[in-house]
Each structure stands twice: as C-alpha cells, then as structure tokens.
Amino acid sequence: MAGLIVGWLAASPAVRAGDASAGADVFKSECAECHAVKEGRNKKGPSLFGIVGRQSGSIADYNYSDALKQAQWTWTQDKLHWYLSQPAKTANPGTKMKYDGLTDAKQLDDLLSYLSSVH
C-alpha cells in the first residue's frame, strides 16, 4: 500500500507551498508594471487573472507574440515556475516579454501561490 501512495505522489503535479499574501507583494514588485490580475485588464502584458490552468496565448483581445501563440503550453504551477525562473527570451525565444527571471525560490513559490489564488 505504501508503494502505491509513493507512486501516486510521484505522479502528482507539484503543489508549491508559497504564501499568497507575500506573493501579492512579489507580484507588485516584479509583475504589476506590465500585468494586471483583474479579469479583462490587459496592460503591456495580458491579464494574469486565472492564469493557472489557462492555455498560453489564449486571451482573445491580447496581441501575443507568435512564439507564445505557437508554444501551446498550459500554464500549470510547474510550467510557470520553469518559465519565470529564467529570462523570458530563454524560455520562449521570440517572446515580447522582457523579464530576466525570478531566482529567489521562496519569492517564486509565493508568487505562484498568489497567481493560483487569482481566479
């Protein structure tokens, strides 16, 4: 039985244990210049309302780069962690996003918890 549970946990997507209220502060300092979390409010970048679980390049009234439209990613916490932990142009060559990445693991987990709560 324990082997089944261990196998199930290994197959489950990672749940990041960040602090959503601290993540709101990270969002303000790292993301808010270009992104909003209000539904339908695009800035330089698309709204991040409901980003976790959403298909990349899928907001109809935002003009995404061809690189992001063609990526066909689903923005899971794992995919967002991977994407945001490095320069955007490394993660998605051809993107319009100008971001150098967030290398502080705690801040990144906090940010992802916050983004997961915005829906």
Per residue in 32-70, pLDDT tens?
Answer: 999 999 999 999 999 999 999 999 999 999 999 999 999
Question: What's the full length of the chain, in residues?
Answer: 119
Total domains in the fold of the chain: 1
Are 92 and 67 in contact by the 8 Å Cβ rule? The answer is yes
What pLDDT score was predicted for residue 16? 58
Over the chain, what is the mean pLDDT? 89
Residue corresponding to tokens 């907001």: 59
Give the pLDDT of residue 84. Answer: 97
Could you tell me if residue 9 is inside a domain?
no
18 token code pair: 């960040």
pLDDT on residue 6: 43
In a domain, 12, yes or no: no
Q: Is residue 69 part of a domain?
A: yes
Distances (CA, A) of 49 to 39, 46, 52, 105: 5, 9, 8, 22
Q: What is the mean pLDDT of residues 13-37?
A: 89
How far is residue 98's CA from residue 8's CA, in Å, rounded to a whole number?
38
pLDDT at 17 over 90: no
Q: What is the mean pLDDT of residues 89-99?
A: 96
